[in-house]
């Protein structure tokens, strides 16, 4: 009885608290996730967890969550709800599943169970007559008070500067602007809180600023920067009221040595962990083999196809890496049931695969390779929370069940800038770019204010001619080290500039060539000398490094014994990626729990550290900075 009274009092107190703070309540529905609920109320998942700690462990249907009032609201809120307009009936046939029936009628499995409640506890049987709901979508628009205004990004401003200026966290800024890029450009127009001009916080150059990371407290910041809680609260009075929050930008003393977000991460060897989940893993592999185009009975035609069909060749190499990863995982006690699908690189075939197969019990789907096909798969299995792994490409729509394993170009650029800034010695920087990369050049100029800019020459009509003259480089370099950023995707321009820089490079005026972008034009260009790149210590960001051979690595040794050659980067990618997925699945209950930003793993040529985007999927933020050294590509220090 006493316990009942205490529970009642606590419940009443919670209700009073919610009313007093003007918070909302939300009753969890079947299939809802914290991310979806957070998006509905325009708050972050961490805001919800702060008031509902039990939700971290388990989210149960019917649970009432306390939702904080959002600091950020759009001018117009749009909601979509489904209304039942009637029912149709279906008699279950042999081998039919709820999944296949749901696909047939374009509803979800949860929709069927909701109107046939006995299916929550019982399996579908042949002959069962089930009720299928018919829906119509109702779109409602509700006007809310205007709490936002438009803000134009200024030179030198990144996300953290804008967030600090308007008193919000970086995740809140991202939630306000879902289409915002990783790197802000001058002139970008953003949604920001509609505060008075005199309430905007200025950036003071004699201080440093830092973005608070996940689970970071005052003790961690004290170890990192040598500042106490009292010192931080004196500089950031808002901390006294609300404490530290993920993504919050705080002011720290100028004497604290830090570069924004440039934390170093230690690699974790998952092979040495105690595996918690050794259930057989179910993986699907979807690749564009396009075997329907090959006469498999003709050895000569098959060999010709493998040689000339790039997509088939990549698929087969990647597949071999996947199979060898499964074998390595098996030796660690991890068994896998792999099912392979040929997407034929056709959206219609992907739809057929989804229609004819139930993926609701799979642990992960690797592929398809190309964005549109991958997005179709991700959207289809999103309701069952099945992770979909993008092995090579960057999807346009990153659903919350998608793992983008290749770091974005924006992140590459940011990491390259961090790499240069980590060296505290004075730097003399020159930025050379063509007209198409003027935005990148200006971004670099905003980061390195003293840098000098050179642009490719134009013809009489004002069009880019993609070259510079040796006179353009006169008086550009000083004695000592000179860093040259070359931003172009034009091979002729890259060849023109690297050739001249190599001629100017000497012991007194040493030139280091860098780029923040895709390096393929430099590495694959037929007219660009590898000797020039090596002499200039060409340095660039990369999703992978090159393994140094010869090596005693078991995968490399086994591959050479089987095929007589060393594995190419696609085979190694298949091995690294698949082994990482299996080890993460074995270390936790599912891939989502094993994809925390504190966990960075590294294998032969690839490393992985996933960060969950608010109202989106998982990005790999592990980037290599590599360089040419004596005609060999090595990791830069």
Domains 77-143 and 410-542 share a fold: no
| Inter-residue contact 582 to 336 (CB < 8 Å) | yes
Q: Rounded to 5, what percent of the chain is helix, strand, coil?
A: 40, 20, 40
pLDDT reading at 535 higher than 70: yes
- Domain 281-407+550-622, second-level architecture: 3-Layer(aba) Sandwich (3.40)
What are the CA-CA distances from residue 111 to residues 30, 39, 425 (Å)? 9, 22, 62
Q: What string of DSSP letters covers 91-133?
A: EPPTT--HHHHHHHHT--HHHHHHTSGGGGTS---TT-EEEEE
Average pLDDT in the 215-220 region? 76
pLDDT reading at 11 higher than 60: no
pTM of the model: 0.65
- Domain 410-542, second-level architecture: 3-Layer(aba) Sandwich (3.40)
Instruction: Kindly give, in sequence order, each residue whose CB lies less than 8 Å from that of residue 586, ignoring residues fewer than 6 positions away.
Output: 270, 275, 276, 277, 278, 281, 329, 332, 333, 334
- 159-214 pLDDT per residue, tens: 888 888 888 888 778 878 877 876 788 888 998 887 777 778 888 877 878 878 76
pLDDT number for residue 14:
43
Average pLDDT in the 27-37 region? 81
Which strand (E) or helix (H) includes residue 156?
A: none
Better-predicted residue by pLDDT, 333 or 155: 333
Closest of 383, 387, 388 to residue 32, by C-alpha = 383
In this structure, of 88-102, 192-206, 368-382, the range with the lowest mean pLDDT score is 192-206
Which strand (E) or helix (H) includes residue 594?
A: none
| Inter-residue contact 571 to 606 (CB < 8 Å) | no
Average pLDDT in the 115-135 region? 87
Supply the DSSP symbol for 293: G
pLDDT number for residue 238:
83
- 538-577 pLDDT per residue, tens: 999 999 998 776 667 889 999 999 989 999 999 999 999 9
Q: Please, which pLDDT band fits residue 130 given cuts at 50, 70 and 90?
A: very high
Q: Does domain 148-252 have CATH number 3.10.350.10?
A: yes
CATH number among 3.40.640.10, 3.30.60.50, 3.10.350.10, 2.40.30.130, domain 2-70:
3.10.350.10
Instruction: Spell out the domain ranges in the chain.
Output: 2-70, 77-143, 148-252, 281-407+550-622, 410-542
Q: Please, which pLDDT band fits residue 587 given cuts at 50, 70 and 90?
A: very high
CATH number among 3.40.50.300, 3.10.350.10, 3.40.50.720, 2.60.120.650, domain 77-143:
3.10.350.10
């Amino acid at each position: 009885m006493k316990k009942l009274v205490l529970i009642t009092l606590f419940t009443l107190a919670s209700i009073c608290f919610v009313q007093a703070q003007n918070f909302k309540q939300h009753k969890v529905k079947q299939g809802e996730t914290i991310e979806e609920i957070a998006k509905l109320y325009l708050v972050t998942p961490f805001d919800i967890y702060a008031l509902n700690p039990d939700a971290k462990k388990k989210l149960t249907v019917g649970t009432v969550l306390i939702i904080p009032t959002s600091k950020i609201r759009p001018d117009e809120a749009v909601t979509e709800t489904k209304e039942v307009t009637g029912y149709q009936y279906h008699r279950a046939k042999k081998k039919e599943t709820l999944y296949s029936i749901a696909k047939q009628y374009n509803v979800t499995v949860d929709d069927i169970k909701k109107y046939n409640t006995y299916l929550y506890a019982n399996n579908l049987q042949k002959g069962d007559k089930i009720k299928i709901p018919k829906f119509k979508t109702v779109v409602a628009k509700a006007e809310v008070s205007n709490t936002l205004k438009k803000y134009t990004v200024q030179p030198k401003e990144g996300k953290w500067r804008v967030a600090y200026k308007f008193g919000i966290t970086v995740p809140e800024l991202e939630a306000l602007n879902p289409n915002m890029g990783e790197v802000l450009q001058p002139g970008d127009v953003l949604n920001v809180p509609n505060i008075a001009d005199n309430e905007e916080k200025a950036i003071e150059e004699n201080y440093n600023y830092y973005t608070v990371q996940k689970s970071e407290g005052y003790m961690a910041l004290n170890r990192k920067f040598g500042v106490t809680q009292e010192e931080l609260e004196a500089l950031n009075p808002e901390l006294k009221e609300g404490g530290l929050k993920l993504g919050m930008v705080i002011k720290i003393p100028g004497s604290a040595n830090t570069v924004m977000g440039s934390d170093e991460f230690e690699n974790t060897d998952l092979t040495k962990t105690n595996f918690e989940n050794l259930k057989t893993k179910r993986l699907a592999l979807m690749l564009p083999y396009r075997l329907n185009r090959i006469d498999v009975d003709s050895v000569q035609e098959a060999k010709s196809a493998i040689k000339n069909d790039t997509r088939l060749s990549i698929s087969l190499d990647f597949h071999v890496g996947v199979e060898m990863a499964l074998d390595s995982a098996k030796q660690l006690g991890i068994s896998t049931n792999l099912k392979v699908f040929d997407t034929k690189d056709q959206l219609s075939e992907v739809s057929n695969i989804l229609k004819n197969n139930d993926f609701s019990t799979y642990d992960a789907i690797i592929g398809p390779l190309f964005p549109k096909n991958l997005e179709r798969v991700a959207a289809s299995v999103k309701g069952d929370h099945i992770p979909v792994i993008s092995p090579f490409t960057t999807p346009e729509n990153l659903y919350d069940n998608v793992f983008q394993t290749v770091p974005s170009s924006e992140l590459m650029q940011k990491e390259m800038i961090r790499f240069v800034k980590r060296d505290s010695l004075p730097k003399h920087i020159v930025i050379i770019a063509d007209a198409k990369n003027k935005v990148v050049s200006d971004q670099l100029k905003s980061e390195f204010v003293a840098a000098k800019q050179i642009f490719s020459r134009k013809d009489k009509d004002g069009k880019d001619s993609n070259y510079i003259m040796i006179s353009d480089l006169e008086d550009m370099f000083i004695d000592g080290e000179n860093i040259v950023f070359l931003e172009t995707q034009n091979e002729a321009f890259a060849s023109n500039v690297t050739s001249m820089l190599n001629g100017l490079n000497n012991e007194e005026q040493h030139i280091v060539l860098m780029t923040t972008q895709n390096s393929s034009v430099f590495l694959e260009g037929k007219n660009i000398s590898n000797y020039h790149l090596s002499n200039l210590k060409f340095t660039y960001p990369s999703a992978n490094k090159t393994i140094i051979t010869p090596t005693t690595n078991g995968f490399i040794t086994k591959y050479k014994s089987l095929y007589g050659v060393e594995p190419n980067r696609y085979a190694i990618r298949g091995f690294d990626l698949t082994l990482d997925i299996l080890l993460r699945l074995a270390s936790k209950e599912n891939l989502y729990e094993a994809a925390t930003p504190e966990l960075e793993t590294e294998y032969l040529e690839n490393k992985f550290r996933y960060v969950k985007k608010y109202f989106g999927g998982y990005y790999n933020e592990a980037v290599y900075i590599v360089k040419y050294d004596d005609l060999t590509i090595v990791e830069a220090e």
